[in-house]
Chains A and B, each alone.
Chain A
């Protein structure tokens, strides 16, 4: 395994020849935690797609105008997934670590509502990179990163200072710092480009990122910084939690909020600066925001959210770098962000409590319950006036409430199925015994609430019906007991406060 294979893979175009090819013999990088399910799904989808596309596009024969994707062969596919290539291993390791660190840091930034601060920060690193390069002429990564961090911090301070200025709001402050710092960076960059010795090729990668060209040193740097970020976050977890959720309580308990905040910002700066090379200064903000925002859908606990965000960041890093290694001409950073975006989309749709599907379901169930209860109450109110034996016709029910015949029929079907109502004759309905009990309970809740409003909220009897209509469905047992106490322990159904006209 100590000889890099030179078979044509998609990295070969982007990655420079490894300068330390022979030395790294035994430094086999640690295997990644297998995320079996996701890997399997991804593998399956690619496999199916590649099988489908294999016949049409034989490998390696593309015309210039061909814009379709070139699917990898099985061999290549397995090799990338099993991380057998040195390049792939470095890139995957680097992006996974970056994703993990960004997920952790992003969680706190997200909860502090500082999501877009990272955007200003990342753009503000540009003048630092260019200035350091102009000044020292060095393209050493640590030096450039130090420059980036310095001007990034300056950018963050500028955002904070601008927010103090009257009439400049937080959003404008971020936009101003982002664009003006970027402009300053561009001014310096154009000097770099015109310098006789200027070889700015390495600097361009900071703007778009070029994860595929990552060297071992870069991955190690990202790894070291990522580990540092994660361990600081773990050590200060309690403090971060306090500051995120209850700043006033934190400072009252004697925590130095400003200091903790600064550490948090420093972690964001570190992650951003280290990640610039991989995903570029425009997209790094996505790695900070998206995993955290996605994780938020699934949980209410900070610890779980942090771990989940780290996992989502790692998975997107892994998926992104794998895809871009498999398929040609896919910029790694962008693919990582797309993967994260996909995870976000899925989370937003499918999360159990906060997801869109779940909340639509909840609304639908509530609507159904309300319709059902309205039907029962309408029936029991008719019975109250006309005696229990009378079958109630559909057309009179229609008049009781503004529901369309179609909806009413659907509600009735359900009530019949549930055994609360039986059909009588052509068009009549009658409550069953069980249905009557349920209907009486609903009617009682309705009346109790009406009386409560009339007596305590001083609302006219003609106005309480509507309000009680909304509340009757959500009155809990405990509230009903309290209402009973307030209404002098009425046991039976209280009479209606409205004057009925007997029809």
Chain B
């Protein structure tokens, strides 16, 4: 690839950023409203609208295209809803029927007109972002960029003006209608905006990659944020970054791999957006795979530790005071000899919950018992367990041998406050249904 030329690459990046951002702005709402595929459907179904606008007006100017897009977008929405309502066809299938038939119609119309117009299905399907600056000889703002700027402004305006309406209808349609917001109107408005945006993007990214621009950055942002405002901002950033990185990779990436060619920028933008989504899926702070794995591991660790404490507490209950120290290996075996349980035991020792007794010192000690702090923690846990058993025995009429399993799981999630409530509900029981003593609540540390 030749070197960087601002008058070309600059425009390409600008167009890429504009098309990615204008799509993403609406894509957030599509993703949140579970209508991602409506973007897919509309982007395919505007084809006949374009073709008819084209055949009627005989030109590729923006205005007829705009009307064609609006009509086709509205038609897709109406038809899909009609098929769902009157045909009782499932939403996804209805969409599939409508958009594929409309797309086929569009293809036929375009083929019929192919002789005397320069609109071929390819230019709608792929788009060619690299061509855009050449249209204007790299000197002035290319016409496609102007169209995209207008659409971007339109989308910003609509989202800004109707932010509240969009938000309420997205998250709580019932509240919206109670507040007097017509969800149907908002829905159609959004769909028409999507249609306009899609058409404006055909020249640069084409009708299939536009789906990537609509959905992918928004889906990534949804994983990363908790609020609508920040989701929109983050998705815009991801979209813009995908556009910039996508173009750089498309123009220079093959060169780095030793291939003397450039590749399709808009396709690369979609791929980069996909990569961003992949990273978000892995590394999102709360919903990412890594953090969920970490949290699950942390939970398992604390559960193993609590199991060890509970086990020691029960063993101590049964044994007279001088016989309390238990074989270290026995404890590990009893909770399952895994890396997790051995490390859990060591962590408890470090935290001072377990003392060594008998031969050896520290980790090499062969017998262990609970320290005072460990006993306090363990008795809290055992108290949770037995209170829960008593509680479900009282309220759920379960046989005695069914109580333990539930309590074994619930004990790890019962807080002191809940213990108080349970105890109050049971009027301060002394013994659990099995007849075992419920240890008293430990004294609060000062």
Please name the residue on chain B nearest to A345 by beta carbon. Answer: B101
- Contact partners of A207 in chain B: CB under 8 A: 125
The total of chain B residues at the interface (CB under 8 A) is 68
- Name the interface residues of A170-194: CB closer than 8 Å to any CB of B: 171-172, 174-176, 178-180, 182-187, 189-191, 194
CB of B149 within 8 Å of the partner chain: no
**Binary flags per residue of B100-118, CB closer than 8 Å to A gives 1, else 0:** 1101110110011111100
**A residues 83-128 in Cβ contact with B at 8 Å:** 110, 113, 115-116, 118-119, 123
CA–CA, A339 to B212, complex, Å? 30
Chain A residue at minimum C-beta to C-beta distance from B292: A166
Tell which of B209, B259, B274 has the most Cβ of chain A within 10 Å: B274
Q: Given A180-B271, A330-B111, is A348 in contact with B86 using a C-beta cutoff of 8 Å?
A: yes
With A and B bound together, what is the CA distance between A336 and B211 in angstroms? 25
Minimal Cβ-Cβ distance residue in A for B254 = A191
Is B261 close to A, CB under 8 A?
yes
A130 to chain B, nearest CB (A): 11
Are A333 and B104 closer than 8 Å at their CB atoms?
A: yes
Given known A329-B111, A331-B111, contact A186–B209 (CB-CB < 8 A): yes
Interface residue? A312 (CB, 8 A): no
B93 within 8 A of A: yes
| Nearest opposing residue in chain B for A279, CB measure | B104
Q: Give A155 Cβ to nearest chain B Cβ, in Å.
A: 12
Q: Which residues of B contact A178 (CB under 8 A)?
A: 40, 208, 211
Q: Across the interface, do B96 and A119 meet the contact criterion of CB distance under 8 Å? A: yes
CB distance from A471 to the nearest CB of B (A): 24
Q: Is the CB of A175 within 8 A of B37?
A: yes
Q: Are A282 and B103 in contact (CB under 8 A)?
A: yes
Q: Which residues from chain A sit less than 8 Å from chain B, CB to CB?
A: 64-65, 67, 69, 110, 113, 115-116, 118-119, 123, 162, 165-169, 171-172, 174-176, 178-180, 182-187, 189-191, 194-195, 207-208, 282-283, 285-286, 289-290, 292-293, 296-297, 329-331, 333-338, 340-341, 344, 348, 354, 356, 359
Closest to B87 in A: A348
Are B216 and A354 within 8 A (Cβ)?
A: no
Cα–Cα distance between A335 and B270 once the two chains are bound (Å): 30
Q: How far is the CA of A340 from the CA of B83 in the complex (A)?
A: 15
Cross-interface CB contact of B95 among A116, A189, A341, cutoff 8 Å: A116
Interface SS, B side: helix
The smallest beta-carbon distance between B89 and chain A, in angstroms, is: 6
Q: Report the bound CA distance from A123 to B103 in whole Å.
A: 15
User: Chain B residues with Cβ under 8 A from A185's Cβ?
Assistant: 267
Bits for B188-205, please: 1 = Cβ < 8 Å to A, else 0.
000000000000000000
Interface digits, B365-384 against A, CB 8 Å rule (1 contact, 0 not)? 00000000000000000000
Question: Given the complex of chains A and B, what is the CA–CA distance between A171 and B222 in angstroms?
Answer: 14
Measured between alpha carbons, how far is A331 from B105 in the docked complex, in Å? 10
B44 at the interface (CB under 8 A from A): yes
Give the contacts of B12-49 with A (CB-CB under 8 A).
31, 34-37, 39-40, 44
- Total A-B residue pairs with C-beta atoms closer than 8 Å? 214
Residues of A within 8 A of B126 (CB): 186
Q: How far does the Cβ of B41 sit from chain A's closest Cβ, in whole Å?
A: 9
Given the interface contacts A166-B287, A191-B254, A338-B104, does A293 sit within 8 Å of B208 by beta carbon?
no
The 4 closest A-B pairs by CB, nearest first: A183-B270, A186-B267, A286-B100, A179-B212
Q: Does B421 contact A (CB under 8 A)?
A: no
Provide the bound-state CA to CA distance between A75 and B289, in Å: 66
- Contact: B211 with A186, CB < 8 Å? no
**How far apart sit A110 and B96, CA to CA, in the bound complex (Å)?**
11
Which chain A residues lie closer than 8 Å to B116 at the CB level?
64-65, 67
Give the secondary structure class of A's interface.
helix
**Interface residue? B92 (CB, 8 A):** yes
B234 to chain A, nearest CB (A): 13
User: Which single residue of chain A is at the shortest CB-CB distance from B224?
Assistant: A167
Bound-state Cα–Cα, A444 to B168, Å: 49
Q: How far is the CB of A333 from chain B (nearest CB, A)?
A: 7
B87 A297 Cβ-Cβ under 8 A = yes
> Are A285 and B96 in contact (CB-based, < 8 A)?
yes
Say whether, besides A175-B215, A186-B209, A189-B264, A110 and B93 are in contact (CB < 8 Å).
yes
Of all chain A residues, which has the CB nearest B100? A286
Q: Output the nearest chain B residue to A324 by Cβ-Cβ distance.
A: B108
Contact B105 A334 (CB under 8 A): yes
Contact of A293 among B97, B121, B287 (CB under 8 A): B97
Q: Show 21 A/B contacts (Cβ-Cβ < 8 Å), sorted by A.
A: A65-B115, A67-B113, A165-B223, A166-B223, A171-B35, A176-B212, A176-B277, A179-B209, A179-B210, A183-B266, A184-B267, A185-B267, A189-B267, A283-B100, A283-B107, A334-B103, A337-B104, A341-B101, A344-B97, A348-B86, A359-B86
- Does B243 sit at the interface, judged by CB under 8 A? no
Instruction: Kindly state the separation between the CA atoms of A167 and B292 in the bound complex, as whole angstroms.
Output: 13
Q: Is the CB of B270 within 8 A of A180?
A: yes
B174 within 8 A of A: no
Interface centre among A168, A178, A330, A340 (most CB of B within 10 A): A168
| Chain B contacts to A: CB under 8 angstroms | 31, 34-37, 39-40, 44, 55, 83, 86-90, 92-97, 100-101, 103-105, 107-108, 111-116, 121, 125-126, 208-212, 214-216, 219, 222-223, 250, 254, 259, 261-264, 266-271, 273-274, 277, 281, 287, 289, 292
Contact B215 A176 (CB under 8 A): yes
Q: Give Cα A186 to B273, complex, Å.
A: 14
Which residues from chain A contact B94 at a C-beta distance below 8 Å?
A: 293
Check B263 against A175 for contact (C-beta < 8 Å).
no
**Which residues on the A side are within 8 Å of B92 (C-beta)?**
113, 115-116, 171
Output the least CB separation between A294 and chain B (Å): 9
Chain B residues lying within 8 Å of A191, measured Cβ to Cβ, are: 254, 259, 261, 263
Determine whether the beta carbon of A190 is less than 8 Å from that of B263. Answer: yes
Complex CA gap A478/B264 in Å reads 71
The one of A67, A113, A174, A331 that contacts B107, using a Cβ cutoff of 8 Å: A331
Closest to A208 in B: B121
Note all chain B residues with C-beta closer than 8 A to A338: 101, 104-105, 108
Taking A167-B222, A172-B36, A178-B40 as contacts, is the C-beta distance between A183 and B274 under 8 angstroms?
A: yes
Report B-chain residues with C-beta under 8 Å of the C-beta of A169: 34, 36
A348 adjacent to B261 (CB under 8 Å): no
Question: What is the CB-to-nearest-CB distance from A402 to chain B, in angstroms, rounded to a whole number?
Answer: 26
Q: B94 to chain A: closest CB distance in Å?
A: 8
Q: Are B97 and A286 in contact (CB under 8 A)?
A: yes
Q: Is the CB of A123 within 8 A of B271?
A: no
Chain B neighbourhood of A162, CB < 8 A:
281
A289 CA to B113 CA in the complex, in Å?
A: 28
Q: Name the contact of B108 in the complex, choosing from A110, A115, A167, A331 (C-beta under 8 A).
A: A331
- List the B side residues contacting A286 at CB < 8 Å: 96-97, 100-101, 104
**Taking A168-B219, A182-B209 as contacts, is the C-beta distance between A67 and B55 under 8 angstroms?**
yes
Which residue of B is nearest A209, CB measured? B107
A328–chain B nearest beta-carbon distance, Å: 9
Interface pair B100/A289, CB less than 8 Å apart:
yes
Chain B hits for A331, CB < 8 A: 107-108, 111
CA distance A335 to B219 in the complex (A): 35
CA gap between A134 and B44 in the complex, in Å? 28
Q: Which residues of B contact A179 (CB under 8 A)?
A: 40, 208-212, 215-216, 270
Shortest distance between the CB of A182 and any CB in chain B (Å): 5
